[in-house]
Homo-oligomer: A and B are copies of this chain.
Amino acid sequence: MTQRAIPLHRRIRAAIEAKILSGEWPPGTRIPTEAELAATYDCARMTVNKALTDLAADGLIERRRKSGSVVKRPVLQSAVLDIHDLKAEVEAAGFTYRYTIATRKIRQATRADCERLQLAKPVPVLALSCLHLADDRPFCWEDRLISLAAVPQAQDATFIHQSPGAWLIGEVPWSAAEHRISAVSADASLAALELAPGTPCLAIERRTWDAEQPVTHVRLIYPGDAHALVARFAPSKAG
C-alpha cells in the first residue's frame, strides 16, 4: 500500500533536474549551495552531495569549489553524434565557415510536415533550407522544420548571425532527440551541393522535443566521400 520507494537523493536530483529542464534555472544559473539545499529538503548535506554529484556526472551541472555549482549549457548532441555543430566542426578543421539561407517559409503544417515533426494536429511551422559552406565550398545541405507552436519567437528570427540550429539551442532550454542516419543518392534537390547525380550522401535526420512537444526536425545531407562521422570511445570513462 505504501507508495513505491524512491530514494531521497533521487527525488532531490529529479527536483533540481526539473528546474533545469523547465528553464526555470537557465544555463549559467548558480544553484543553491549544498547546505541550503540540505535545509530545503530537510536532509543531510551528504544526501544533497550525492544528488549533485549525480547531476554533474550526467553533465547537467558543473561544480566548482567555493563558487558553487552552475547549470551547464546543454550539449544537445551526444559525444558520439556531435558533428552537428557545423560551425565549430568546420573551424576546428581550419576552414572559414559560412552559411546561406536558401528558402524560408511560414505555413500551416502540411500532412508531410506533421509526419516529419510527429505532430498530432497541424500547427504553424517555419520551413527553412540552408547551405553550409567551408571556405566557400558547399559541404552540407540543411532542411529544417520548426514548430511555431513550440517556438513562437522563431517567426521573427532572422538567422543572420546564427544558423537555425545554433539559435534553437539557445532558445529551447533542453530537449530529447532522436537521430536517424542513412545513405541516400544525390538528386536535383541537392543541386546546391554541386554533386554529380547519384553521388552517395550521408543523411542525418534529427527530431527534437521539449517536454513531449515536438520542436524541430532537421535533415542534413553530406557528400559521403568528403565527410564522415567519427566516434571514438572507450567503455569506461578513464580514471
Contact = CB atoms under 8 A, between A and B. Distances in A.
B202 A201 contact: no
A60 to B, nearest CB: 6
Interface stretch (A62-70, A106-114, A154-162, A226-234): A226-234
Nearest to A221: B183
A181 B60 CA distance: 28
Nearest to A198: B198
Interface in A78-133: 78, 80-81
Interface string A1-37: 0000010001001100100010000000000000000
A225 B181 CA distance: 10
Assembly stoichiometry (copies) = 2
A39 interface: no
A176 B231 CA distance: 11
Classify chain A's interface size.
Answer: 35 or more
Interface of A: 6, 10, 13-14, 17, 21, 57-60, 74-76, 78, 80-81, 174-185, 198-203, 222-225, 227-237, 239
Given A80-B80, A198-B198, A236 B60 contact: yes
Q: Specify which of A74, A174, A224 lies most central, judged by the most chain B CB atoms within 10 Å of its CB.
A: A224
